[in-house]
């Protein structure tokens, strides 16, 4: 997809210097000349004439800057001098400088959007889709979405996302395009990495949603420890006018106190299951749940919650009782964003999230479920829910999964623990974005934490397609096959390269067609 290039000057050297100075980021200028920048870039291969270039990244090489200058860059921003004669803005923090100047270059587009940011270890994507569907229905399709799965900027600008939260320069470019496309609202997932790496520096949200937190994203190339992970997630609340919190999350009191630091008490909304907390503003009560979705009741408990006018019955088209809480958070956001209850009720029956609880039924090889579940909490709740939905005990449950390389190393022992606790009959460990690690070594780490007295059979099949085929071929009527982790992702991250992969759902359909004709 090609985004519109905005053909006017958006920033010049003096403006950049003033902004950086105001935010305490500028160290000094070198070879000062007044330039007018028509483009900004951090990828040297995309540089055009009259570009302001950002020297960012741990792997940055001076050769990249030289290439950018050869292609037409007239100035650069960096944390060090490269003594090449070009105008240079030397800063204390390149990530923050890039975010700030990108926001200014694109005309501070978030000022024209009612922005909703959603964070949490799990549930971000589901909540984002609930909220975006309701807001789109209530705003005549004027809501942009930036999620782990897709980015939608209006007027047909829809494309596959590469990161949960884009790099700052890309993010503000997307927001500018959304505004130019007539969007009035924005729903976006906000990862902890986006605050750790300052991708959303200078971005303020109308609503910040904090769903939950559990041990994840701690390790190499991520957060050094859980305290840092929690701190980064809490930054969303400090940069939001209204906060929406799940009272049933672990560490709720710590998160609540963080929200109170910068948010007035009447701008903090607490939600949870009915009776779960004495200070609820909006309570949900599950009436029934199944593979086709859930029916639930919303009730305003406090005066603030009642003022949302959300009391009533709702039907969600997304399976999983755990998604009712996500829908409740989305309902609060939509109501604050100006959407009426009737529209929200209608929207929740239309939500579909590709790769979430996708069901493929076979004639002779059981039922196959595809889901993005990728950590202890999500895998455990998925398996518990699926087992609870069976009219009789399934003959056998087979799970196919792996874990990504060079990130989230704490997931590996946790996955082994979840598989044992849910007493899975067969586990096929396989490849899931190994990056620069050996996928068999990753599988061995998971296996080392599986209690083999509680899990029937554990094996390793390197090729993910072969692993899926092995699981389905061995399954019989009444069995469950669960494919966790990749959902509809059409690539495997291997040695720094996005290697094409059909996606789990496509592979399942191919295998079933071959087996059953």
pLDDT in tens, 50-101: 999 999 988 899 999 999 999 999 999 999 999 888 999 999 999 999 999 9
Query: Which residues are CB-contacts of 363 (< 8 A; sequence separation ≥ 6)?
Result: 477, 516
∠ CA 189-191-196, nearest 5°, is 145
CA separation for the pair 155, 181 (Å, rounded) = 6
* Planar angle of CA 344, 116, 137, nearest 5 degrees: 30
Euclidean distance between CA atoms 250 and 216, whole angstroms: 13
DSSP strand pairing (293-300 vs 282-290):
antiparallel
Whole-number pLDDT of residue 218? 66
Q: What is the pLDDT of residues 462-497, one digit of tens each?
A: 999 999 999 999 999 889 999 998 888 888 999 988
Mean pLDDT in the chain?
92
In this predicted structure, what is the pLDDT of residue 496?
84
Q: What's the pLDDT band for 220 if we cut at 50, 70, 90?
A: low
pLDDT tens digits for range 395-417: 789 999 999 998 878 889 999 99
Residues 295-321 have a mean pLDDT of 96
pLDDT, tens digit (0-9, with 9 covering 90-100), for 349-408 = 999 988 888 889 999 999 999 998 888 888 998 898 888 876 566 578 999 999 999 887
Mean pLDDT of 273-295: 94
Q: What are phi and psi of 431, to 5 degrees?
A: -90, 135
Which residues does 510 contact at the CB level (< 8 Å), separation at least 6?
A: 502
Q: Three-state secondary structure along 174-218?
A: HHHHHHHCCCCEEEEECCHHHHHCCCCCCCCEEEEEECCCCCCCE
Residue 255, judged by CB atoms within 10 A of its CB (0-12, 13-18, 19+), counts as: buried
Q: What is the pLDDT averaged over residues 230-250? A: 96
Closest CA to 407 of 373, 434, 446: 434
DSSP 319: -
> Which of 32-41, 158-167, 325-334, 507-516 comes out lowest in average pLDDT?
158-167
């Amino acid at each position: 997809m090609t985004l519109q290039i905005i053909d006017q000057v958006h920033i010049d050297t003096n403006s950049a210097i003033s902004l950086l100075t105001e935010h305490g980021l500028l160290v000094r200028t070198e070879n000062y000349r007044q330039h007018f920048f028509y483009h900004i870039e951090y990828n040297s291969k995309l540089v055009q004439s009259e570009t302001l270039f950002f020297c960012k990244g741990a792997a940055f090489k001076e050769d990249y800057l030289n290439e950018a200058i050869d292609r037409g860059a007239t100035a650069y921003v960096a944390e060090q001098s490269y003594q090449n004669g070009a105008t240079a803005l030397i800063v204390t923090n390149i990530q923050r400088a890039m975010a700030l100047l990108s926001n200014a270059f694109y005309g501070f587009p978030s000022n024209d959007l009612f922005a909703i940011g959603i964070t949490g270890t799990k549930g971000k994507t589901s909540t984002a889709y609930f909220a975006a569907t309701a807001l789109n229905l209530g705003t005549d399709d004027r809501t942009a979405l930036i999620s782990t799965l897709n980015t939608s900027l209006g007027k047909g600008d829809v494309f596959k996302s590469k990161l949960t939260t884009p790099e700052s320069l890309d993010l503000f470019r997307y927001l500018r395009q959304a505004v130019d496309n007539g969007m009035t609202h924005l729903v976006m997932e906000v990862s902890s990495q986006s605050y750790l790496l300052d991708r959303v520096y200078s971005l303020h949200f109308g609503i910040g949603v904090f769903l939950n937190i559990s041990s994840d994203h701690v390790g190499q190339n991520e957060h050094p420890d859980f305290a840092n992970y929690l701190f980064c997630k809490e930054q969303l609340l400090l940069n939001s006018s209204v906060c929406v919190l799940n009272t049933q999350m672990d560490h709720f009191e710590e998160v609540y106190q963080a929200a109170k630091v910068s948010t007035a008490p009447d701008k903090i909304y607490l939600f949870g299951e009915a009776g779960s907390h004495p200070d609820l503003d909006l309570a949900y009560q599950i009436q029934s749940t199944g593979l086709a979705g859930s029916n639930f009741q919303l009730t305003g408990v406090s005066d603030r919650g009642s003022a949302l006018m959300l009391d009533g019955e709702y039907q969600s088209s997304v399976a999983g009782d755990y998604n009712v809480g996500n829908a409740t958070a989305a309902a609060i956001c939509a109501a604050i964003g100006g959407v009426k209850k009737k529209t929200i009720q209608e929207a929740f029956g239309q939500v579909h999230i590709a790769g979430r609880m996708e069901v493929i039924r076979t004639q002779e090889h059981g039922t196959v479920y595809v889901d993005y579940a990728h950590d202890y909490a999500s895998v455990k709740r998925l398996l518990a829910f699926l087992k609870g939905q069976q009219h009789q005990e399934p003959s056998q449950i087979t799970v196919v999964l792996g874990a990504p390389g060079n990130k989230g190393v704490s997931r590996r022992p946790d996955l082994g623990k979840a598989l044992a606790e849910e007493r899975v009959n067969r586990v096929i460990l396989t490849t899931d974005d190994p990056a620069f690690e050996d996928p068999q070594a990753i599988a061995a780490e998971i296996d080392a934490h599986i209690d083999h007295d509680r899990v029937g059979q554990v094996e390793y099949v390197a090729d993910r397609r072969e692993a899926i085929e092995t699981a389905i071929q061995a399954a019989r009527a009444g069995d469950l096959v669960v494919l966790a982790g990749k959902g509809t992702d059409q690539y495997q991250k291997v040695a720094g390269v996005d290697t094409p992969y059909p996606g789990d759902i496509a592979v399942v359909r191919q295998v079933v067609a071959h087996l059953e004709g």
